[in-house]
Amino acid sequence: MMREGTRGNVTIEFIAISIFLLIPVCYLAVSAMAVAQTFLTITGAARTGARVFVTQETESAAHLRGTQSVRDQLKIGQINPAQFSINFSCTEKPCLTSNGYVTATIKGSKSIVLPLLKPVKVALVSSQTIEVDAFR
Q: What is the C-alpha separation between 84 and 73, in angstroms, rounded? A: 12
How does pLDDT run across 5-57, given as a tens digit for each residue?
666 677 888 888 888 888 888 888 998 999 999 999 999 999 999 999 999 99
Residue 36 lies in a domain: yes
Residue 136 lies inside a defined structural domain of this protein: no
Which residue range is the domain that position 100 belongs to? 9-131
Which DSSP helix (H) or strand (E) runs through 86? strand 84-90
Edge-to-edge strands, sheet with 120-131 = 84-90, 101-112, 120-131
Residue 4 lies inside a defined structural domain of this protein: no
In this prediction, residue 18 carries a pLDDT of: 85
- pLDDT over 60 (residue 2): no
Predicted pLDDT at 80: 93
**How many domains does the structure of the chain reveal?**
1
Domain assignment of residue 121, yes or no:
yes
In this structure, is residue 22 part of a structural domain?
Answer: yes
Instruction: Determine if the pTM surpasses 0.85.
Output: no
pLDDT at residue 118, as a whole number: 86
